[in-house]
Chain A
Amino acid sequence: MAIIEVEHLNKEFKIAKRETGFVGALKSVVNRQFVTKEAVKDISFSIEKGEMVGYIGPNGAGKSTTIKMLTGILVPSNGSIIVNGIVPYEKRKENAKNIGVVFGQRTQLWWDLPTIESFELLKEIYRVPDARYKENMNTFSDILGLGEFLNTPVRQLSLGQRMRADIAASLLHDPEILFLDEPTIGLDVVAKEKMREFIQEINKLRDVTVILTTHDMEDIEKLCKRMILIDHGQKVYDGDIAAVKSRFGKMRTLIVDVEENGVDLHVSNGELMKEEGNRKWIRFNRDDFSASDVISQITQTHNITDLTVEEPEIESIISRIYQEGFTKEEVPVKV
């Protein structure tokens, strides 16, 4: 039984049409015109316990709308959602006990008070038993290094410290599901790594189901095995990250360092993208040719001293999908 079950989810908003000009403003007072916007159109998916899913899409795709419905903040227009056996918007409080939420940019902590006080207050709000509270606090302090700033007011924390505290706070009550909205935004490289490590630990240790929305592709690549891609309110892709790469990312780049400079390189089963002195970049479609095909062709005229084969990054694949939309044909990817 999946821990999250979403079927034919649909959300429409009525947006008041804005009239321009003075006459328009008067008209709108008398007769308000509404435009219906479909933020989420017929989305279905199910997530098993312990999965780590990346929920991504361009801005305005309907990501946060879906998350709001899953967390019980928003009521769907149509369709059904079942989270851990209950309907979130019907049993909001019960649902709240099962979930943890981290809004990347907005803290859930009490701004003016020492960090530890926020944890104590959340303990009260979520009715966490004393023993469990101590246990969790110890675990989190260990992994996230909270100890150094527990007594500092939240407003004086650096972004990295604040995010660490926020994620610890979201797990204090042992939720089964964790919703992370842009958890690494604005963090430096080291902090991002730490954050990702922590999320992986939690997922492994406690079997917490993680749903992650982010624009940072490294997050996706490093954390999620599964990716749900939505655009214009519709589900565009749902599956393995590896599958995405293999389905959409068929182009490879071969980077070779050759001994002979000045000798023209002709490759019939690939395209010479650029040259810098002895280094050549050659692009080829791996469906048509293997890397060794290309290499053997090069060695006919050149001696190779060093080589690398690059795969396309998930980022470029996805931006390609964003830009060109989802079509049934495979779209060649520029590397």
Chain B
Amino acid sequence: MTKIIEYVRLYFRLVGAGVRAQMQYRFAFIMRIVGMVAAYTGTAVTMWIMLYQFKELGKWNFYELLFLFALAVLSWGFCIILFFHFRSLDTYIVNGTFDRFLVRPINPFFHFMAMKFDIGAAGQFIFSILVFIWVSNAIDIHWQFGKILFLLGAIIGGILVQGGLLVFISAIAFWTTKSERFYWVVMYPARNLTNYPLAIYPKFVQWVTAFVVPFGFVNYFPAAVILDKDTPYFSSYIGYFTPLVGIVFFVIAYYVWMLGLSRYKSAGS
């Protein structure tokens, strides 16, 4: 137990250092926030234009679509802050700067994770929270306590799923040193895919995003519960499993990463 407390303390110390390092570049920091808000607003605008004429996408109207999108952005925001640098593990290994984590008396996964705390991603929160407020008003979502709790669970689950995926991609670096590329070519497009209701995609895609790479649990399934939408092919309660799916997925990802690490220790690079 004391070990966990120790680690938590250490995490905040390390992370604090990372934040202070970022604040050294104040202009860049602000630009990033502006950029993120702008980029997401851009997608929202695109959605608006899309539905200007067509009114509905797979039975989701504009506000519902926006909500779906904002939910993904919110949990992704936390993900960026905590895990985004995992995708660059290949760069660390190639430059030889990863070994430093192995020479210290703390868990290397923990150490690597605590090295960066990208607070610039705060822009995402600004966007999401504004959207939530706007949408809740527009389509009259009643935020009772149960719903809020559910939302929290969904966010945590979303963080764990997306974080877990970043960890998986990171682990690739231990085998082939091409993790960053894998992120941009696979995870980035897939994230875009799940900004829209999964119901519009072929059955195969829906199945994959539910049971293989559980993106569906990040926003689609929970949003469907909150907004009371149909989820064809899936039980309407599936959204409730988000936190559980998140935990399981992340734990598996962690073990795969540690497996990759032991492979790295026996095979070099």
A and B touch in the complex (CB under 8 A): yes
Taking a contact as CB atoms under 8 Å apart, the answer to whether A101 and B106 are in contact is no
Asked whether any CB of chain A lies closer than 8 Å to the CB of B55, the reply is no
CB pair A113–B267 under 8 Å, yes or no, is no
Asked if A328 CB lies within 8 Å of chain B CBs, one says: no
Contacting A at CB under 8 A, from B8-67, are 9-10, 13-14, 17, 20-22, 24
Chain B: CB-nearest residue to A110: B17
A74: which B residues are within 8 A, CB to CB? 265-266, 268
CB distance from A157 to the nearest CB of B (A): 15
Cross-chain contact A103 with B10 (CB below 8 angstroms): no
Give a binary string over B206-222; 1 marks a CB under 8 Å from any A CB, 0 the rest: 00000000000000000
Inter-chain contact B21/A113, CB cutoff 8 Å: yes
Cα distance, A113 to B111, chains bound together (Å): 17
Measured CB to CB, the residues of B under 8 A from A are: 9-10, 13-14, 17, 20-22, 24, 95-97, 99-100, 102-107, 111, 262, 265-268
**Closest Cβ of chain B: how far from A233's Cβ, in Å?**
14
Does A108 belong to the interface (CB within 8 Å)?
yes
A73-B105 CB under 8 A given contacts A106-B97, A121-B14 = no
A74 to B104, CA, bound (A): 14
Interface contact A94-B97, CB-CB below 8 Å = no
Collect the chain B residues with CB atoms within 8 Å of residue A75's CB. Answer: 262, 265-266
Q: How close is B110's CB to chain A, nearest CB, in angstroms? A: 11
How many chain A residues touch B (Cβ–Cβ < 8 Å)? 30
CB-CB under 8 A from A286, the residues of chain B are none
Residues of chain A in range 76-113 having any CB-CB distance to chain B below 8 Å: 89, 92-94, 96-97, 99, 101, 103, 106, 108, 110-113
Contact check, B104 vs A125: say whether CB atoms are below 8 A apart: yes
Given contacts A14-B267, A106-B95, A153-B24, contact A72 B102 (CB under 8 A): yes
Assembly CA distance A303 to B159 (angstroms): 89
Q: Are A113 and B266 in contact (CB under 8 A)?
A: no
A112 touches B21 (CB 8 A): yes
Question: Is the Cβ of B102 less than 8 Å from the Cβ of A103?
Answer: no
The reply to whether B13 and A73 contact each other, CB–CB distance below 8 Å, is no
Assess whether B267 is in contact with A13, with CB atoms less than 8 Å apart. yes
A-B contact pairs, 23 of them (CB 8 A): A13-B268, A73-B99, A73-B102, A73-B103, A73-B265, A74-B265, A74-B268, A75-B262, A75-B265, A89-B265, A93-B106, A94-B105, A96-B105, A97-B105, A99-B103, A101-B103, A111-B21, A112-B22, A113-B17, A113-B21, A121-B17, A125-B105, A126-B105
